[in-house]
Structure 1
Amino acid sequence: MRYGLVAPALCRAVLRNQRLRVQVCERGLRKLSSIKTGRPFEEENCRNYDPKSFYPARIGDTLNSKYELVSKLGWGTGSTVWLARATHWLTTVRLPWQNEHHVALKITNNTASAQLAARRELDISDQMFSAETTHPGRQYVRSVIDSFEVEGPHGTHICLAFEPLRQPLWMLGQQSGLTNLVQPRTIKSLLPSILKSLDFLHSECQVIHTDLKGDHFMIPFEDSKVLEDYATRQEANPAPCQERNGRPVYESRSSFGHLRGDIGYVKLTDFGLAVRGNVPNNHLIQPREYTAPEVMLKAGWSYSADIWNLGLVLWELLGDINLLSGRVPGHCKFSNKTRWAQMIRLLGPPPSELLARADREALSQFYDDQGVFKYPELIPDELFTLSNSTPMLEGQERALFIEFAKKMLTWMPEQRATAKELLDDPWLKSVGRHRAAGFGYLEDTRLT
């Protein structure tokens, strides 16, 4: 990986180290530590990977005459994400924790689908932040700070600059050192920011996120020095890079180390699949394990689809449990039929009113012409209950959480609680006991 300009003596010292294979890059004294492997590396693992669709970004490059790439933070099927140092801070936005200005820079692929998602995210961000508002949820939504285009060897790439954030919410369990699960007391303390961000989206902006998951609730930096130390480490210890198919592929460096302070809120991110809620919507949305019933039936959906989605995400955060997995135990193949059967066991038969709204073809996946469910053998046995699916909580704490979840997981979309209504739920204010997975002890979870 290339890193910041260094003294010639340091360059000679690195070159003398026989454990590192260093190649001199085209510009100045910057270095690229390379690896040799025939196996797929980083985004090369993407299904249908096409090197011509990804921008050939290099550490040390300056994009748009403003953003110097410091380190690769991650990748996806349609983009790579980088920490960049803003060498010329031209926007009026200045974040209070910033000493040296950094941004998270998403460089999208040059494909039509990736560019469409980037333009949608930019459009939704403009819609959310263009109007004056005092809504408390606005501060918990990450906006696009800047946008521009760069020309690659095979087409144009849209770049979106965001406030850099520390890590996804689900990683908090790993930070504790005790368990990979996020503790209930932590979820309770952070849920208000999540619910306020959704209320801001739904009530103020008329926006539906459509893609809620643990990766999209991000934790901010608890201390500005965390980001500074990270940048220093990247310059001193370049990450490996594979030069192949006409572009460099860098190893992602997404870890910022252990938490150094308390976290009081999270921010909602990634609006590439978001849509406006003030128009009819009927296309398929959401990860398949999270899809709301009205979406599966193509019965029309609105803001409450996000609420259903959030309810299922909570089970994964608290217990690493995919509540409606769509899979038969012992088998990994996903099936919508199996998932619908699981919903019947947990929620009871769907109301006829919901089925009457369904698209006929979508409905025929599950029901015959007489309205009888075609796959009763897939319905789990009586042991498949909400209570048995919540082993991480105990007693009254478990009962209160299940009542909280039931307000989100209902067949009828209009019967689900809104984000604002969920803010007043007794579970968020309760004193309870939970079982730490793998340790077997109980711990009080009082909110202060």
Structure 2
Amino acid sequence: MPPQIPISVSRIQWHRILQPGFFSRAGSTVAGIHRIEYKWIKGVEKLENYQPGGYHPIMVGDLLHDRYHIADKLGYGGYSTVWLALDTHLKRYVALKVNATDSLSSETAVLKALSASLPPSAAVHPGRGLVPVLLDEFEVQGPNGNHTCYTVTPARCNLREISFSRLFPLDVARALAYGLTLAVAYTHSQGYVHGGSSTPAKAFIPLFLGKYAEHFSISDAQPLLTDLGEAFAPASEVRLGQDCHTPPAFRAPEAKFEPQSPLGYPSDIWSLSTAIWEIVGMKAIFSTDIVPEDEITAQQIDVLEPMPADWWRRWKGRSSFFEADGCPTESYKGNRWPALQESFEVGVQKWRRKVGDEIGEDEKTALLDLMRRMLAFRPEERLTVDEVLESEWMVRWALPEYKRNQQCAT
């Protein structure tokens, strides 16, 4: 008998694509060409990407590589789809990622490096177990081309999804924040920048626990840092700011203002700070709605106050939000974001107060100090990930809860 997995594991982002009546053929003015029409479904990848060079068509029940029986859909990205599959050889469930034909992802190489065997005498980094372990890799041939595939332990309980409009208990939030930081620390220690958004959207709990954020206990707080498709090794690979694909709400500002300069580890620190804020609070520190990139820059200035003078001078979109003297324009005055302290009250404390889980003054002071130092505009002025782990908030509040979680796991 295959292992049992809660049905909620496989239903997080699943919407059946080929539902009756969703597709219809219509005549075209060009002979021999048909137009396919379909109903847009929220939460489903763009169906037009199922074409040569794009996604590989997969249905529940398919068998890939004569080994992996597709059980259900877990999610998708810009360059891949992810499926829950039963490994019929080892009788265990795996997460199976199938890349688009034109995808140039180096994710498998990064996963191999991060999960490589260690010499017997080598010390094991405490964050090593917080990144996925590559189990298998292979290729499949389909109507849209050749697709690289790999499998890892299932992990599709998306922290942002289960915490949407909900709060983690404070002890759980602290432990999750520490674990996520530890995972980034391990990635950096192996010479890699995560390069995506180290946000809750890229952090998962192994398997779905059948509960939402407010029902989590300390034993549940074991994150896994996933989606390493944008990871790179700065010692051997140059990733320019202009090539950064991190969503604007989590993207370090040097990607915009120093587009010809290489990105490095500090860009992860900026993204990590936005993740910690979301884990602890209810609202993201910067807008996660689809807004112009310049509006995110304006919000960063509102929250963090003056940006470097040379960036200010070079900012082409500035006049839509600020006068030359730094005062907001009349049209922007009503849309300004609150400064850091007030943002914390609006996005974190107000909601925690409602459930009797407010952050105390000493902890608040330490956490805001950490946020300021992680969100320094200049990358060279940000903390390193090891300095984040050594900060007062991490040591006094987050680490003790993470240790409690580890005791529950043993």
- Alignment correspondent of 1:36: 20
Q: In 1, Cα distance between the equivalents of 2:151 and 2:402?
A: 38
- Alignment correspondent of 1:212: 198
Structure 2: unaligned runs, 5 residues or longer: 3-15, 23-37, 350-358, 405-410
Q: Are 1:116 and 2:107 matched, yes or no? A: no
Q: Kindly state the Cα deviation for residue 431 of structure 1 after the two structures are TM-superposed.
A: 6.2
8 Å CA contact retained: 1:387, 1:398: no
Give the counterpart letter for 1:212 in structure 2: S
8 Å CA contact retained: 1:81, 1:106: yes
Give the counterpart letter for 2:203 in structure 1: F
Q: Kindly state the Cα deviation for residue 79 of structure 1 after the two structures are TM-superposed.
A: 2.5
Calculate the TM-score normalised by the size of structure 1. Answer: 0.66
8 Å CA contact retained: 1:150, 1:158: yes
Q: In 2, Cα distance between the equivalents of 1:388 and 1:210?
A: 28
Deviation by residue 1:138-186 (Cα, 9 ceiling, x = unmatched): 1111132211111112311221111112502234547xxxx61223321
8 Å CA contact retained: 1:171, 1:180: no
For the structure 1 residues 84 and 364, does the alpha-carbon distance in structure 2 shift closer, same or farther, using more than 3 Å as the test? same
Structure 2 SS opposite 1:390: helix
Q: Where has structure 1 moved over 6 Å in runs of 4 or more? A: 379-383
Q: Kindly state the Cα deviation for residue 319 of structure 1 after the two structures are TM-superposed.
A: 2.8
Deviation by residue 1:307-338 (Cα, 9 ceiling, x = unmatched): 11111222333333232228xxxxx7623333
Q: In 2, Cα distance between the equivalents of 1:302 and 1:78?
A: 23
Structure of greater Rg:
1
Give the counterpart letter for 1:284 in structure 2: D
Q: In 1, Cα distance between the equivalents of 2:19 and 2:297?
A: 47
Q: Are 1:423 and 2:389 matched, yes or no? A: yes
- Alignment correspondent of 1:104: 95
Q: Are 1:413 and 2:379 matched, yes or no? A: yes
Q: Are 1:79 and 2:80 matched, yes or no? A: yes
Q: Kindly state the Cα deviation for residue 422 of structure 1 after the two structures are TM-superposed.
A: 1.4
Q: State percent identity of aligned pairs.
A: 26
8 Å CA contact retained: 1:431, 1:446: no
What is the CA RMSD across the aligned residues, in angstroms? 3.6
8 Å CA contact retained: 2:179, 2:402: no
Instruction: Tell me which moved more, 374-383 or 404-413.
Output: 374-383
1:325 alignment partner, one of 279, 287, 311: 287
Q: How does 1:10-409 map to 2 (within 5 A)?
A: 35-38=19-22, 40=39, 45-47=44-46, 49-52=48-51, 53-89=54-90, 100-110=91-101, 112=102, 115-117=103-105, 120-130=106-116, 132=118, 134-173=124-163, 180-221=166-207, 257-258=210-211, 262-278=219-235, 279-282=237-240, 283-285=242-244, 286-298=246-258, 300=261, 301-325=263-287, 334-352=291-309, 355=311, 363-366=315-318, 372=324, 376-377=328-329, 378=332, 384-391=338-345, 392-393=348-349, 394-396=359-361, 397-409=363-375
Q: In 2, Cα distance between the equivalents of 1:446 and 1:109?
A: 37
For the structure 1 residues 61 and 383, does the alpha-carbon distance in structure 2 shift closer, same or farther, using more than 3 Å as the test? closer
Give the counterpart letter for 2:285 in structure 1: L
Deviation by residue 1:192-212 (Cα, 9 ceiling, x = unmatched): 221121111112233343322
Structure 2 SS opposite 1:389: helix
Q: Kindly state the Cα deviation for residue 288 of structure 1 after the two structures are TM-superposed.
A: 1.0
Structure 2 SS opposite 1:190: helix
Q: In 1, Cα distance between the equivalents of 2:286 and 2:18?
A: 43
Structure 1: unaligned runs, 5 residues or longer: 5-31, 90-99, 222-254, 327-331, 433-444
Q: In 1, Cα distance between the equivalents of 2:382 and 2:221?
A: 27
Q: Determine which structure has the larger helix proportion and give its number.
A: 2
Give the counterpart letter for 1:104 in structure 2: A
- Alignment correspondent of 2:10: none
For the structure 1 residues 446 and 216, does the alpha-carbon distance in structure 2 shift closer, same or farther, using more than 3 Å as the test? closer
Give the counterpart letter for 1:336 in structure 2: E
For the structure 1 residues 104 and 260, does the alpha-carbon distance in structure 2 shift closer, same or farther, using more than 3 Å as the test? same
Q: Kindly state the Cα deviation for residue 116 of structure 1 after the two structures are TM-superposed.
A: 0.9
8 Å CA contact retained: 1:71, 1:83: yes
Q: Kindly state the Cα deviation for residue 419 of structure 1 after the two structures are TM-superposed.
A: 1.5
Q: In 2, Cα distance between the equivalents of 1:184 and 1:260?
A: 10
8 Å CA contact retained: 1:209, 1:273: yes
8 Å CA contact retained: 2:126, 2:182: yes
Instruction: Tell me which moved more, 42-51 or 311-320.
Output: 42-51
8 Å CA contact retained: 1:345, 1:379: no
Q: In 1, Cα distance between the equivalents of 2:221 and 2:45?
A: 35
Calculate the TM-score normalised by the size of structure 2. Answer: 0.72
Q: Kindly state the Cα deviation for residue 268 of structure 1 after the two structures are TM-superposed.
A: 0.5
Q: In 1, Cα distance between the equivalents of 2:56 and 2:269?
A: 36
Instruction: Tell me which moved more, 343-352 or 409-418.
Output: 343-352
